[in-house]
């Protein structure tokens, strides 16, 4: 009897797989050009995101580069040490500092930089002149395409003791101009506001696209009911783009510990390192400078696990409260 049930279940599964494969093959034939466009993206993520996952195993080993002729041989022949490097990181004298700094910089950045592109998109949506709208969009997009090295050079120049920002602040406060990047109290505000300047235009694109899909009849109905532009924005526009905002916030929280180390490395110095050193810069120093490959991989894996935990929690909360979720 059990054999018969198992055989029936197997046939049903085979039939389902056969039907699904037929649908997939038919869809591929129908949309060949679209699948060809997607192939480079799939290849990119497979090569740079999925294949490197194999290397995370060295976080549980004392990885040595000279044990074999290939990277895979080195991994297979390295000594297994379990959670040694994770424990070492948790007991490290810098653990609390880099962990706290990462959370602090990340949450302050999210608090100020996440609403900024939404506000910009709403303001651009209110512009009636198409020419002026395009000019505003172009100006706000430009910083995204400027090299980060150039951006950091500009920030250093503007915040030096002879820089325009330092001079303006000294005029308002009545103090002497100073190099703001040498003041640890100024580092996070400089980082956050420069991040907003860099990303506000580019990140507003998705919200502008969402605004373009709002049903215009809703505005007409609200206008008939006596709602002005501000009330239309509050009661029509924002609720209509709320699913997009929610998804973007969930994705942002999923990268809560991924504070860009490149910008911090280019801006910080020994005077500001106590408040600027984050997990990503700690990984850079341990992995590339000290060549502690297993230790730095363990720290990176811990970073990814915490990010995924935040992503999962944010997604579940959103799913229960608003029925909007990634899965």
Distance CA 299, CA 320 (A): 32
**What is the mean predicted confidence (pLDDT) over 124-129?**
87
Are 21 and 99 contained in the same domain?
no
In a domain, 36, yes or no: no
- Confidence (pTM): 0.82
The count of structural domains within the chain is 2
Are 187 and 309 contained in the same domain?
yes
Q: Give residue 7's pLDDT band: very low, low, confident or very high (50, 70, 90).
A: low
In a domain, 252, yes or no: yes
In a domain, 222, yes or no: yes
- What is the model's pLDDT at position 207? 93
Distance CA 303, CA 298 (A): 9
- What is the model's pLDDT at position 184? 87
With a cut of 70, say whether residue 279 has pLDDT above it: yes
In a domain, 279, yes or no: yes
In a domain, 38, yes or no: no
Are 217 and 298 contained in the same domain?
yes
pLDDT top residue among 73 and 253 = 253
Are 127 and 18 contained in the same domain?
no
Are 138 and 238 contained in the same domain?
yes
- What is the model's pLDDT at position 4? 57
In a domain, 73, yes or no: no
| Cβ(313)–Cβ(326) below 8 Å | no
In a domain, 2, yes or no: yes
Encode burial over 134-152: b for 16+ CB neighbours within 10 A, e otherwise: eebbeebeebeeeeeeebb
In a domain, 30, yes or no: no
Distance CA 106, CA 23 (A): 44
With a cut of 90, say whether residue 13 has pLDDT above it: no
Q: Is 117 exposed, middle or buried (0-12, 13-18, 19+ CB in 10 A)?
A: buried
With a cut of 60, say whether residue 10 has pLDDT above it: yes
- What is the model's pLDDT at position 8? 67
Phi then psi for residue 61, to 5 deg, are: -130, 165
**What is the mean predicted confidence (pLDDT) over 182-204?**
91
- What is the model's pLDDT at position 150? 92
Which residue range is the domain that position 11 belongs to? 1-25
- What is the model's pLDDT at position 221? 86
- What is the model's pLDDT at position 108? 92
Are 12 and 152 contained in the same domain?
no
With a cut of 60, say whether residue 6 has pLDDT above it: no
Are 292 and 176 contained in the same domain?
yes
Are 313 and 205 contained in the same domain?
yes
- What is the model's pLDDT at position 235? 86
Distance CA 230, CA 214 (A): 16
CATH classification of the domain holding 195: 1.10.3720.10
Are 148 and 277 contained in the same domain?
yes
Strand partners, 80: 61
Are 147 and 284 contained in the same domain?
yes
Window from 58-67, 158-167, 290-299 with minimum mean pLDDT: 58-67
Are 132 and 275 contained in the same domain?
yes
Are 236 and 101 contained in the same domain?
yes
Q: Give residue 273's pLDDT band: very low, low, confident or very high (50, 70, 90).
A: confident
Rounded to 5°, the CA angle 93-94-98 comes to 155
């Amino acid at each position: 009897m059990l054999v018969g049930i198992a055989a029936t279940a197997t046939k049903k599964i085979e039939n389902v797989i056969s039907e699904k494969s037929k649908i997939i093959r038919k869809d591929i034939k129908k949309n060949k050009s679209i699948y060809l466009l997607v192939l480079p993206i799939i290849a990119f993520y497979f090569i740079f995101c999925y294949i490197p996952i194999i290397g995370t195993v060295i976080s549980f080993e004392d990885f040595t580069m000279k044990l074999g002729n290939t990277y895979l041989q080195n991994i297979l022949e390295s000594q297994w040490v379990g959670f040694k490097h994770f424990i070492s990181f948790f007991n490290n004298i810098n653990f609390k500092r880099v962990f706290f700094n990462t959370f602090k910089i990340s949450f302050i950045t999210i608090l100020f930089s996440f609403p900024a592109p939404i506000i910009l998109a709403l303001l651009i949506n209110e512009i009636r002149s198409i020419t002026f709208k395009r000019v505003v969009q172009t100006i706000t997009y430009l910083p995204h395409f400027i090299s980060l090295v150039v951006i950091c050079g500009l920030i250093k120049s503007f915040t030096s003791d002879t820089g325009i920002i330092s001079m303006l602040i000294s005029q308002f406060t009545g103090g002497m101009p100073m190099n703001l990047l040498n003041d640890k109290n100024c580092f996070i505000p400089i980082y956050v506001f420069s991040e907003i300047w860099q990303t506000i235009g580019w990140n507003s694109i998705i919200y502008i696209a969402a605004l373009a899909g709002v049903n215009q009849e809703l505005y007409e109905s609200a206008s008939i009911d006596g709602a002005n532009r501000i009330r239309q924005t509050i009661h029509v526009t924002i609720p209509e783009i709320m699913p997009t905002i929610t998804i973007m916030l969930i994705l942002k929280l999923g990268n809560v510990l991924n504070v860009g180390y490149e910008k911090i490395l280019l801006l910080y110095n020994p005077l500001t390192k106590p408040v600027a050193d984050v997990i990503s810069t700690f990984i850079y120093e341990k992995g590339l400078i000290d060549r502690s490959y297993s230790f730095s991989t363990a720290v990176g894996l811990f970073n990814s696990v915490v990010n995924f935990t935040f992503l999962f929690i944010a997604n579940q909360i959103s799913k229960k409260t608003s029925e909007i979720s990634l899965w």
